[in-house]
Structures are given as structure tokens and as C-alpha cells.
Amino acid sequence: MLKWLLVVALLVLVTGLMQPGPAQRLRLGRLPGDVAFRFRGRAYHFPFTTTVLLSLIAWVILRSI
């Protein structure tokens, strides 16, 4: 139980730190494979590659604990 609490706390911390500043420097959300388009004046953004990359990183972290 303590291990899961630690993992969740670390994920929340990393997610909080990945807000605008570092995320822009790492180009998260603008990787090849992320789809962004405008339709009828609205912007739509689907970060497919970023989601896969962050999922793989989370998986590696969880497997190493």
C-alpha cells in the first residue's frame, strides 16, 4: 500500500512540474504524431504520441519499483 501511495504522489508531483514551462521546453503535445487542427473556428488537439510516451515512462517507473 505504501508503494502505491509513493507512486501516486510521484506521478502527481511530476505532472504538476510538467505544466506550461517544462512542457514547452520538452515539446510535449507537439511531438510528431500529435494531431492539432481547427474546425469551424475551434481548435482540436489530440496528443497521441505524447500520451504513449508518458504512458511508457509511467510503466517503466512502475516496473522499476
pLDDT score of 1 more than 80: no
d(CA 29, CA 50): 6
- Find, among 38, 32, 63, 24, the residue nearest to 50 by Cα: 32
Model pLDDT for residues 31-52, shown as the tens digit of each residue: 898 899 999 999 998 888 888 9
Whole-model pTM above 0.75?
Answer: no
Q: Where are the domains of the chain?
A: 2-64
pLDDT score of 13 more than 70: yes
